[in-house]
Amino acid sequence: MPNPSLRVLVAENQYLIAMEVEQILVDALDCTVTIVPLARLEQQLGDDQFDVVLLDSAPIPAVNLDRARRVKESGAAVVILSSYDDVGTEASGIQAFPVVAKPIFADELIRAVKTATRASA
């Protein structure tokens, strides 16, 4: 279902991965996607409004939780992009958010974004 009003931020340091995510989401959801490196996440959250933010996970669970908290405070839903095996485990504290494993599979990504946006509505 196309949704041109859906605003997505991809905060990912690997630009080619971010571009792949953008292409999948634009093709499937007809949304607006902005890409930023993680270092500019705070600035981008202050500059624009987003419905969902896809965060590249860090190896340190506390960093992921802090980033997710800041995104939630901005009013956006959170989806975690991760190449780490244990990011979605209870020990990481991030299990409250959809986690998409890298490499990215389109169906999994689209399902996670839809789940996150429904949960925050």
SS3 9: strand
Q: What DSSP string describes 58-118?
A: PSSHHHHHHHHHHHHHTT-EEEEEE--TTTTSGGGT-TTS-EEESSP-HHHHHHHHHHHHH
Q: In this predicted model, what pLDDT tens digit does every residue of 21-74 receive, in sequence order?
A: 999 999 999 899 999 999 999 999 999 999 999 999 988 888 999 999 999 999
pTM reported for the whole predicted model: 0.90
pLDDT at residue 3 tops 70? no
pLDDT of residue 36: 98
Q: Domains, the chain, ranges and CATH? A: 7-120 (3.40.50.2300)
Distance CA(114)–CA(23), nearest Å, equals 16
pLDDT at residue 1 tops 50? no
Q: In this predicted model, what pLDDT tens digit does every residue of 87-111 receive, in sequence order?
A: 555 455 677 889 999 999 999 999 9
